Amino acid sequence: MANEKQFGRAYEPSNTRRAICTAIFVFLLLAGVTALIVYLVYRPEKPRFSVVGAAIYNLNTSTPPLISSTMQFTIMTRNPNRRVSIYYDHLTAYVSYRNQAISPLLALPPLYHERRKTVALSPVLGGTAVPLQVEVANALAVDEAYGVVALRVVVMGRLRYKAGVIRTGHYGMLVRCDVLVGLRRGSVDQLPLIDSRGCKVDI
């Protein structure tokens, strides 16, 4: 009888629950340690962007508040990661002046960015007139006459990181590149970048 009682106590429901809780705790602990090791080994850095060239083929401020423009910017993007590649999806770009878009959104093709590689993008932005607030349109006309215009090139989209067989979910990406472009009255095509202040990348 004593052996039967001991046998029954050994398999009481409380002991079973304790064993299940211990197994779950050990599993979660191992999963957390594995995730931490993967993060420390593969932790991805944000891509880096810079504007290295500009060409303005058309900038018409003569009919405010409508502004028409055709511009092309050479954007360099660098993947600084040694072990992680990057996939870009749903990319769009536009140009803004004083926080107002002066070109319509342009859809860009998907991009695969290999490890430690640099890729050049040269989208042609504009082509369709867009409305601006009157004071902003007038300010742009004044800057154009002066010969220097401060513009912002904006790239938006989603990205995923890939390390070996591991792929992350999608992250939203917002890139803002502030540039000063020197204009010559009546001239078009390649123009000097007086200042490219780098790009801010938010993930």
| 112-146 pLDDT tens trace | 999 999 999 999 999 899 999 999 999 999 998 88
Residue 8, pLDDT > 60, answer no
CB 137 within 8 A of CB 149: no
Q: What is the pTM of this model?
A: 0.78
pLDDT of 177 > 90? The answer is yes
Choose among 161, 78, 58, 65: nearest CA to 119.
Answer: 78
Q: Span 46-202: which CATH code?
A: 2.60.40
Whether residue 126 contacts residue 161, with contact meaning beta carbons closer than 8 Å, is answered with no
How large a percentage of the chain has pLDDT more than 90?
53
Boundaries of every domain in the chain: 14-43, 46-202
Q: Mark out the alpha helices in the chain (DSSP H runs).
A: 2-10, 13-42, 134-146
Q: Decide if 159 contacts 87 (C-beta within 8 A).
A: yes
Cβ contacts of 57 within 8 Å, gap of 6 or more: 70, 71, 72, 188, 189
